[in-house]
Structure 1
């Protein structure tokens, strides 16, 4: 069972999410929050938190950062109108696993909850690349991040939103090999999950918006 907390200052939105999620046997709404501080308290220990960005007392960015500190296993999905790229990017840097648009179909929200809970892929990579850019960057680390060519291949596939099976098929390696490479990438980037790895990679110039096209392989390669 996926335990979900809903954080939005509009009761009507929370009620709609609750009614929709209740239709799915593998998801249970275990709490609600009308502001960021309530979101931190209610979300601590939950599996997934649906987090509005603009809320009273504490905004979604700050609440996400605090949740990442208090409850590292809790996955935050930022729910936004996408009107402010800087806020979305800040939330991803703060530790959000991904985001969905408030105008998106409700079944997309359900899919997002299941996806981040499974930790299998990055949510909505096209939008992630859209808001990535040099003005979001941070200073280069003193010791440059050094990835092997294969780890960089895997990082590119992560940024495209591929899951382990899709990466394995693209690179002609086993799923277990992909898992090993993913683990090494996360360790080297000091990232808590795939989404944060993609964010860090854009910030450090390891990936560039629009450049991460699927790799075309003529056949198996090491």
Structure 2
């Protein structure tokens, strides 16, 4: 059972998210929060596997809350809930510890997919957000040549892991594809993030895309 926290200052949004997640027997909403401070405290109290956190909330915004959650409960994976027109927030979140980015207007099935993906160790970007992020990286001067230079430090096995990570596969799926145990995949991912100076799997996935691995 995947334990989930839903943090949003709009009670109707929280109710809608809870209703959608209730359709999946493998997901349980264990707590709700109406602001960033509450989100951090609820994570401390309930230790959910996944926290769905609105970017804009009173008292403490979602980005700051995500940073605190990463400190007090690093095992909790944070998925940021966003709306269109928040590109600057998406860029800031990408530099933090968020494991996923999801549009509030997404298909309900996408929400459930995101929860399962990040709980299983994968990163998740809503397709429309992924398009924006990649567009912005290109506009900022990201290049295939530069990306390939960065991944040159990886071993052949690490490049294969990165390619699968970039394609959105979870640790267990990567383990199955490469016929290795999941613990070995986790060790490879940690090494990849360290060598690439990437803060999270999302940054590594984008680099894999830029390098032409996916």
TM-score, scaled to structure 2: 0.77
Give the alignment partner of residue 62 of structure 2, picking from 60, 64, 69: 60
Give the alignment partner of residue 187 of structure 1, picking from 186, 191, 194: 191
Tell me which protein shows more helix as a share of its residues. Answer: 2
Residues 198 and 106 of structure 1: is their aligned pair in 2 closer, same or farther, counting only changes over 3 Å?
closer
What residue in structure 1 maps to residue 166 of structure 2?
Answer: 159
* 1:161 CA drift (Å): 1.2
Map 1:55-204 to 2 at 5 A: 55-119=57-121, 121-124=122-125, 127-128=129-130, 130-132=132-134, 133=137, 135=140, 146-163=153-170, 174-176=178-180, 180=184, 183-190=187-194, 196-200=200-204
Residues 60 and 165 of structure 1: is their aligned pair in 2 closer, same or farther, counting only changes over 3 Å?
closer
Q: Is the 8 A contact 1:68 1:74 kept in 2?
A: yes
* 1:89 CA drift (Å): 2.8
For 2:189 and 2:3, how far apart are their aligned partners in 1?
28
Residues 105 and 70 of structure 1: is their aligned pair in 2 closer, same or farther, counting only changes over 3 Å?
same
* 1:181 CA drift (Å): 5.3
SS in 2 for 1:6: strand
Gaps of 5+ in 2: 143-149
Gaps of 5+ in 1: 138-143, 215-222
Residues 196 and 185 of structure 1: is their aligned pair in 2 closer, same or farther, counting only changes over 3 Å?
same
SS in 1 for 2:200: helix
Residues 103 and 201 of structure 1: is their aligned pair in 2 closer, same or farther, counting only changes over 3 Å?
closer
Q: Greater shift after overlay, 175-184 or 14-23? A: 175-184
SS in 2 for 1:190: helix
Q: Is the 8 A contact 2:158 2:192 kept in 1?
A: no
Is the radius of gyration larger for structure 1 or structure 2?
1
Q: How many residues align?
A: 198
Q: Is the 8 A contact 1:122 1:160 kept in 2?
A: no
SS in 1 for 2:124: coil
TM-score, scaled to structure 1: 0.75
Residues 43 and 168 of structure 1: is their aligned pair in 2 closer, same or farther, counting only changes over 3 Å?
closer
Residues 136 and 24 of structure 1: is their aligned pair in 2 closer, same or farther, counting only changes over 3 Å?
farther
